[in-house]
Amino acid sequence: MGITVHYSGKLAEPKEVKAVCKELTAIAFKMNWASFASLDEDSEFTDATVVTPEHETPPKEDFALTGITLEVHPDCETLILYFDQHGNLCHPMIMSLISEGHLKPEDMGGFVKTHYAGAETHFWIVGLLKYLQIFHLPDLKIVDEGRYWETGDVEILEEQMGAIDAKSPMISNLLGTNNAEDIYHYSPEKIACWFAELIGKPLSEVQTLESKL
């Protein structure tokens, strides 16, 4: 299948989905990633519902999710960050398979294959997911087949991907030559902090995050 990141979790504050999408859109803009938010300024939170013991399964055609998609690299699958009305991360494909009985409700979540895009793309995505965990999805669960989420080691990631190559010029172009080498060896937590600084989060929030690293 190739190296894939699987993720599941729930927004701490489901009604903040618009703010979360705005932050992710801002990060995408700074990173030169294409993005599309399925939410406009006047819309209310969608009424899609995932399968849980206390909620019924909606018809497949009624799946209306709120969130954003990110195109991080041409050779990477689209990163889909959609939420239902309760703030649960929902991948449309998985949601459909659950409604048809092929998967269980506890399989709700999302996935993104990074294998063909390389280690650099993988660590940006994992860093972004760590950002979401710190600021918006405290119960976010990750299964990282590249092992970067749990180790923070890019060399292990490269070995897992079978692609121990010279890194692309993307980081140098983005950050300049002074600290490009340093960020390539950041942990997911440090990348999350860098994203927070990138979009101008309040200094107090960034400092609080840094103090926990």
- Residue 213 tokens read as 């690293």
| HSE of 151, CA atoms in CB hemisphere, 13 A | 14
pLDDT value, residue 204: 79
Instruction: Tell if the pTM clears 0.85, that is, is over it.
Output: no
Instruction: Give the model's pLDDT for residue 39.
Output: 57
Contact (Cβ atoms closer than 8 angstroms) between residue 125 and residue 5? yes
H/E run at residue 161: helix 154-161
Angle CA(61)–CA(46)–CA(124) in degrees, nearest 5? Answer: 95
What pLDDT does residue 47 have? 44
Closest CA to 1 of 160, 169, 135, 166: 160
* Burial label, 126 (beta-carbon count in 10 A; 0-12, 13-18, 19+): buried
Residues 95, 76: Cα–Cα separation, whole Å: 21
- Identify the CA nearest to 135 among candidates 55, 198, 192, 58: 192
Domain residues for the domain of 120 are 4-211
Q: pLDDT in tens for each of the 213 residues of the chain?
A: 689 999 999 999 999 999 999 999 999 999 999 999 875 444 444 444 444 444 444 444 445 689 999 999 999 999 999 999 899 999 988 888 888 888 887 878 999 999 999 888 999 999 999 999 999 999 999 999 999 999 999 888 888 888 534 444 455 455 554 455 566 778 999 999 999 999 998 877 777 777 766
Both tokens of 102, joined, read 């092929």
pLDDT score recorded for residue 35: 94
Number of domains observed in the structure of the chain? 1
30 in helix, strand or coil?
helix
CA distance 146 to 122: 8
Rounded CA separation 199/7 (Å): 23
